[in-house]
Amino acid sequence: MKKRKLGKGNLEVPAIGLGCMGMSFGYGPAADKKEMISLMRSAVERGVTFFDTAEVYGPFTNEELVGEALAPLRDQVVIATKFGFKPDPNGGPRWIGLDSRPEHIKEVAEASLKRLKTEVIDLFYQHRVDPNVPIEDVAGAVKDLIQQGKVKHFGLSEAGVETIRRAHKVQSVAALQSEYSLWWREPEAEVIPALEELEIGFVPFSPLGKGFLTGKISEDTQFDKTDFRNIVPRFTPENRKTNQALVTLIGEFAQQKKATPAQIALAWLLAQKPWIVPIPGTTKLHRLEENIGAAAVELTREDLRQLEAATAKISVTGARYPEEMQKLVGR
């Protein structure tokens, strides 16, 4: 797998990473631990050596899973994790708001290092911007951790352009992680131009639209009761029915290119900028291999022009987050 560089430092990762959240959290019951360990190790064998987790996934169980799976392969992989949520003081499974106070960031780093069974976090993202803590203080706390050798690179997630600029002045930001795909194009307006100017990498999560762009979800699909998509407006049966037009279009294009819809969606992202590294998540080896195959799909300028013209005629309906979660993004 070809490598890509994130940021101005020496953070080099494969063109496609692996989002690990769904192995433990978010899309129904946690998957079998042994199977997920095997999947992550199989990913490394196939050149996927960039793994994304967070303390909030589980909470904590996903970091522990990633740590156990990758400990024997630690020198071959890049592990990204995140800080910034406030845990329930009673030890419950829910998170009660945001907390990016410098002292909390340092506590989270120590706990994440233990769970990940490592001496250094390769990429440490602020999970969501905390309006109660100046971003300069957040960047300064991570700068301290970098100077102490506990963190290698600083990242932000779902941050707005002004926040990115302010953080970057204090500590170089290697990557921004935000949603971006053929059905969520908002970052193109302001975020991507700013990242290009500042030489910051972009790590799109949900590059397959939380599974929708694979073509395997219809208006009749029933999600598990614990599946996050049940509360996402974009995934109501009515919106799924309307949004099927985009999936149909991608599917037709995929047939022409002898690829799958997922591969076209990922190849489109890779073709946007050489510093974009999507992190599709999966719990299945055949899907991992399908996603890896996207790196070999060559989209010509004419292909991209045709996709652009066709998708521009389709309006995607439904918000990507419930209202209370929407307030946490783009600050």
pLDDT, tens digit, 9 for 90 and up, residues 241-290: 999 999 999 999 999 999 999 999 999 999 999 999 999 999 999 999 99
The architecture that CATH gives domain 3-211+262-299 is: Alpha-Beta Barrel (3.20)
Task: Report whether pLDDT(60) > 70.
Answer: yes
- State both tokens at 175: 């990557």
This prediction's pTM: 0.97
pLDDT at 235: 97
> Which of the four pLDDT bands, split at 50, 70 and 90, describes residue 93?
low
pLDDT at 325: 87
The residue from 57, 125, 180, 321 that is catalytic is: 57
pLDDT at 90: 72
HEC string of the chain? Answer: CCEEEECCCCEEEECCCEECHHHCCCECCCCCHHHHHHHHHHHHHCCCCEEECCCCCCCCHHHHHHHHHHHHHHHHCEEEEEECEEECCCCCCCEEEECCCHHHHHHHHHHHHHHCCCCCEEEEEECCCCCCCCHHHHHHHHHHHHHCCCEEEEEEECCCHHHHHHHHHHCCEEEEEEECECCECHHHCCHHHHHHHHCCEEEEECCCCCCHHHCCCCCCCCCCCCEHHHHCHHHCHHHHHHHHHHHHHHHHHHHHCCCCHHHHHHHHHHHHCCCECCCCECCCHHHHHHHHHHHHCCCCHHHHHHHHHHHCCCCCCCCCCCHHHHCCCCC
> Which of the four pLDDT bands, split at 50, 70 and 90, describes residue 96?
confident
57 is catalytic: yes
pLDDT, tens digit, 9 for 90 and up, residues 155-198: 999 999 999 999 999 999 999 999 999 999 999 999 999 999 99
